[in-house]
Structure 1
């Protein structure tokens, strides 16, 4: 009896832990906030809110930190089945067929010597599996084959999938749910509801096998209103952007956002953007914009505005916050990441309630950034942006825009609002 139970038990244990690991990875990918190893408590609170909104199940931030290894737990710790099913639904709409149970019930049946021997064999098996998976090269192809429509745009891909026991997924790059694919699938399609440059990945739960890029064009300035980044693929308010009023400003009133379905009492974002093929492939340009944030009537809060220049191969994004909130600044300069939680980015904390002019000059990958004529950042990067495809200016809450432009160094207009 003993010898027949042992393989079954440890095979089940390994399968359950592998499934939970896959679920965790899928949740991390969908939440799209970088590696969970770098998440702070506030990130786990936001993650908890996202799960609650998507599944109706409330998982506390501390429980999530235990599951993701941020809080030390016993070796036999396992989350409740309802918690695992909620994570599975959020990550990729999979419900485990077999509840994950504590190992203690089974381990008590074996003597201590047998347990040591079996655990040793189990660890050796895991090491062998890890080694094979790590060094076994899995190849595949995902290739853009056709597009239909423009905003919304349905995009078609050809697939050549590997013969592997690993689960395969397509990540369409727009924060929508991962699409599970089986090895016999030859084609797949996806509809994009907002403009941008999206990296589409063919992947397992642990690594990317192949990728391609998709441009969804607007060919005009449009506005987007949404509650958080994870909502954008499914629920956002989109409108043609233009200047109004005697001061010729862009602004979308909260009342209009509320009328169209956005709860303006909750945190929201408003984005002004334009994506189109420019044919311009040089890392030599000037970006300039004048804006201000809409001020909340009272309370202590962190507000922000960020802009992004998007190339086919990479991007430049700078974020500005009100004073005291530079901890929240997260900037991307092509292959580089500037994180306000790990370095002093207090120069990016400014008075957002007043009109502010931002100017960024890029000369052959050497950047200089000015705020109201004062230089606050200088740096350089290595990876070219590729062909310039778009630009956006985004407000936490709401804001006003006087102007926004991207020009080559010889004054050729790439984007102008």
Structure 2
């Protein structure tokens, strides 16, 4: 049985292995900002930089991490939630702890069969259990008849609860799960004899909901959590702060201002918050492998811990996303790009073209043809490559900023067809 501190220590170690950024004692503020963004991209939950610093012992904090924080960290390393992570600590320990040599004892050498006998019995028991499991699965394969699986948001806008209606009684499944998106870590066990499950969503997006019997996906459908026009958020560990569409329109732009943030109690000297502008509405059949996108934006705040003015543009897709990051020119080593899951790091690639002067409007244009991507920043080619996977159709757009952020224009196009968002 492992203590909660030991479980958290090994969860940190798994995260460090996943990101592969070297010794975490040398991580800087920018590393925790990038980690926060990666966790948000994979789990749709924001953990603030200060929270992550507390987890890694960079900031003193006497209280234990919240359940939301622990669940999100566990999901980021492949578990359904913190409870499931705690159930399997031995798997983590087996992979990470070094074997300790056991000194030989002369009295044992004279009884080789006595030494081997427990191992032989253990192996026989294990083989017997495997045989029983294989026999049961051979004689009881998954069978099912008429199944139902639908979902419906209970309201418009955010936050939003989605009611999932299901009927899996006409099956011999031992376990029934509802998976709320394409990510298998958002899979939740439900009662086979019940017919409804409710899940809450705090951020907009596209989700591919699935009904899972045992380990087989048997039904799935699209689920959109739309915005009513544009939506602004202050991204927090628990419930975000929302700015509705009508609050964001200012002088022909979409903006979250410094005044907006101070009115919500933000103290910039303590921490510059992560903010987002979201637009999730039907965009038609716009494939992630063939499209154009162009935008003009500013990240106007460059004080305190926002000197790098890190900014992200996420093109949300039905099976993933495309991500473009910008920053002040001196911070480009901390940038990342990702196209359909194919990542590029500023630590190992030249991303200097994504370093910009945010005192002027920055123009970003992304052109994709047959999975070949070109990104232009202020009309100069900053990146070109070919990606392998198909991320599905484009379903929305999300910007994120360090503090205030402004979008002057945004449009998608595909040949003569275009959708102008602002």
TM over 0.5, shorter chain: yes
Q: CA deviation at 1:374?
A: 0.5
Counterpart position of 1:188:
197
Equivalent pair of 1:151/1:193 in contact (CA under 8 Å): no
Equivalent pair of 2:351/2:383 in contact (CA under 8 Å): no
Counterpart position of 2:345:
339
Equivalent pair of 2:181/2:208 in contact (CA under 8 Å): yes
Q: CA deviation at 1:240?
A: 1.3
C-alpha distance in 1 between matches for 2:16 and 2:420: 33
Q: CA deviation at 1:196?
A: 1.1
Counterpart position of 1:13:
none
Counterpart position of 1:9:
none
Equivalent pair of 1:223/1:272 in contact (CA under 8 Å): yes
Equivalent pair of 1:197/1:216 in contact (CA under 8 Å): yes
Q: CA deviation at 1:358?
A: 0.7
Is 1:414–2:419 an aligned residue pair? yes
SS in 2 for 1:378: strand
SS in 1 for 2:376: strand
Counterpart position of 2:42:
none
Counterpart position of 1:258:
262
Is 1:354–2:354 an aligned residue pair? no
Q: CA deviation at 1:182?
A: 4.5
Equivalent pair of 1:144/1:155 in contact (CA under 8 Å): no
Is 1:394–2:400 an aligned residue pair? yes
Q: 1:364 to 1:174 in 2, by over 3 A?
A: closer
Q: 1:271 to 1:198 in 2, by over 3 A?
A: same
Higher alpha-carbon deviation: 141-150 or 392-401: 141-150
Q: CA deviation at 1:348?
A: 2.5
What is the number of equivalent residue pairs in this alignment? 357
Is 1:403–2:406 an aligned residue pair? no
Equivalent pair of 2:208/2:318 in contact (CA under 8 Å): no
Equivalent pair of 2:32/2:49 in contact (CA under 8 Å): no
Unaligned runs of 5+ in 1: 1-15, 63-81, 101-106
SS in 2 for 1:250: strand
Q: 1:320 to 1:168 in 2, by over 3 A?
A: same
C-alpha distance in 1 between matches for 2:376 and 2:197: 45
Counterpart position of 2:250:
244
Equivalent pair of 2:413/2:419 in contact (CA under 8 Å): yes
C-alpha distance in 2 between matches for 1:337 and 1:121: 48
Compute the TM-score of the two structures, normalised by the length of structure 2: 0.63
Q: 1:377 to 1:144 in 2, by over 3 A?
A: farther
Counterpart position of 1:155:
162
Q: CA deviation at 1:259?
A: 2.0
Aligned mate of 2:313, from 304, 307, 329:
307
Is 1:316–2:297 an aligned residue pair? no
Equivalent pair of 1:44/1:61 in contact (CA under 8 Å): no
Counterpart position of 2:95:
none
- After TM superposition, the structure 1 = structure 2 runs for residues 168-247 of structure 1, keeping only pairs within 5 Å, are 170=179, 179-200=188-209, 213-227=222-236, 230-231=237-238, 234-240=239-245, 242-245=248-251
Q: CA deviation at 1:320?
A: 1.5
Q: CA deviation at 1:372?
A: 0.8
Counterpart position of 2:78:
none
Unaligned runs of 5+ in 2: 37-45, 59-63, 75-80, 91-101
Compute the TM-score of the two structures, normalised by the length of structure 1: 0.64
Counterpart position of 2:274:
269
Equivalent pair of 1:173/1:200 in contact (CA under 8 Å): yes
Q: CA deviation at 1:415?
A: 3.5
C-alpha distance in 2 between matches for 1:346 and 1:127: 57
Equivalent pair of 1:226/1:237 in contact (CA under 8 Å): no
Counterpart position of 2:333:
327
List per-residue Cα deviations over 1:342-392 (Å, max 9, x = no partner). 444333333334321111122343321111111111223344443332122
Q: 1:197 to 1:89 in 2, by over 3 A?
A: closer
Q: 1:407 to 1:169 in 2, by over 3 A?
A: closer
Equivalent pair of 2:340/2:387 in contact (CA under 8 Å): yes
Aligned mate of 2:18, from 37, 49, 52:
37
Equivalent pair of 1:27/1:87 in contact (CA under 8 Å): no
SS in 1 for 2:356: coil
